[in-house]
Amino acid sequence: MSLQELESNANALVAPGKGILAADESTGTIKKRLASVGVESTDETRRGYRRLLFTTEGLSQFVSGMICYDETVRQNMPNGTSFPAAMRELGIIPGIKVDTGAKELAGSDGEKVTEGLDGLRDRVAEYYAMGCRFAKWRAVIEIGNAKPSRTCLEANAHALARYARLCQEGGLVPIVEPEVLMDGDHDIETCYAVTSEALHQVFAQLYRQNVHLEGMLLKPNMVISGKGCATQADVETVATRTLECLYRHVPAAVPGIVFLSGGQSDELASAHLNAMNAGRQHPWAMSFSYGRALQAPALKTWSGKDDQVAAAQAKLLHRAKMNSLATKGEYSAALEG
Ligand code: 13P
């Protein structure tokens, strides 16, 4: 492992004005997304849709890397070039989701722990050889009914750190993602408290397991009101509370924080990111690693129709541009037009 290579790739992923496109939906999730626009999920439709995304002309102005699912990094362009090689030619760094999903945590009241450590060293080596330079692992933390338990937070933090260290050993920049879900009717202060504790546990484990902070990225949720909460915190409050939480828990050595969108609307996800960057300087780059908030309009426009590929790509490019502006505090709803 070269620390220098890790650091340079981590910094490239959060280069000024750039963020990450998360398109690593598992087979089950992409099936639901495609079904929502009336498309059957087949090897061919998944390949076509993912190719549509990363071949969007000009995307690399705003998007540094794309997170892929295992299937995607094994697929090829019509001319036989592998998808990861094609991405690199287009200026997009290929990344790979390496966890194998959140499974029921034994002994808990329906809480989840993310699996995928068995054999990970060998898989990391294979992905590196295929051209991937970064990875993602997502832990899922639910709020409600005495959840999350300390057991759940600790088990997930431990696994995230083991994953991160293994990735760094094999040359992949780990994206460490402890996602506190928006589901529930909790208020923003509850989200603040749970996110604080989750980040505290995660950074304690990253430290204990010797993860090189300069060669990783953090992918957190924003501190936000639960979806079902009667009082929804406004944009400025979300930005302020999220920043307070991050300043208390994330070492300045981490080069970048790339948020997940987690079910926020496209425009709100841009507005929140913008408010965190507008007129402020931070020790880390503050950018995006959105899935739904980047893809949703493109997916809907495409709806499986070949003659809509260009229109769908225009939608993706627009969202990528809006979020790029938000990383610089230059976004405004008026630009949505
Ligand atoms: P969303 O932005 O849709 O939450 O997806 C990001 C992601 O990669 C979740 O793991």
Q: Give residue-wise pLDDT tens across range 272-329.
A: 999 999 999 999 999 999 999 999 999 999 999 999 999 999 999 999 999 999 999 9
Which of 168, 190, 149 is CA-nearest to residue 2? Answer: 168
> What average pLDDT score do residues 193-218 get?
98
pLDDT value of residue 204: 98
283-292 b/e (C-beta count within 10 Å ≥ 16 → b):
ebbbbbbbbb
Cα 79 to averaged position of ligand 1 atoms, centre (Å): 31
Is 177 among the residues known to form the active site?
Answer: yes
Name the pLDDT band for 337 (thresholds 50, 70, 90).
Answer: confident
Q: What is the mean pLDDT of the chain?
A: 98
Q: Which residue out of 141, 292, 295 has the highest number of ligand 1 atoms within 8 Å of its CB and is therefore the one to mutate?
A: 292
pLDDT at 224: 98
pLDDT number for residue 137: 98
User: What one-character DSSP code corresponds to residue 105?
Assistant: P
d(CA 134, CA 130): 12
- Rounded Cα distance, 319 and 300, in Å: 13
- Per-residue model confidence (pLDDT) at position 1: 63
Q: What is the pLDDT of residues 154-183, one digit of tens each?
A: 999 999 999 999 999 999 999 999 999 999
Q: How many angstroms does the Cα of residue 293 sit away from the middle of ligand 1? A: 8
pLDDT for 55-101, tens place per residue?
Answer: 999 999 999 999 999 999 999 999 999 999 999 999 999 999 999 99
Say whether pLDDT at 189 is over 80.
Answer: yes
CATH number for the domain formed by residue range(s) 3-329: 3.20.20.70
Has this prediction a pTM greater than 0.95? yes
Residues with CB under 6 A from ligand 1: 22, 138, 177, 260-262, 290-293
Read off the amino acid at residue 207. Y
Task: Please give the share of the chain, as a percent, with pLDDT higher than 90.
Answer: 99
Sign of the Cα pseudo-torsion (159, 163, 166, 169, in order): negative
Q: Whose CA is nearest to atom 10 of ligand 1?
A: 138
Choose, from 25, 111, 177, 179, the residue flagged as catalytic.
177
pLDDT of residue 160: 98
pLDDT tens digits, 248-274: 999 999 999 999 999 999 999 999 999
Nearest CA to ligand 1 atom 5: 291
Query: For residues 139 and 181, is the Cβ–Cβ distance under 8 A?
Result: no
Q: What is the length of the chain?
A: 337
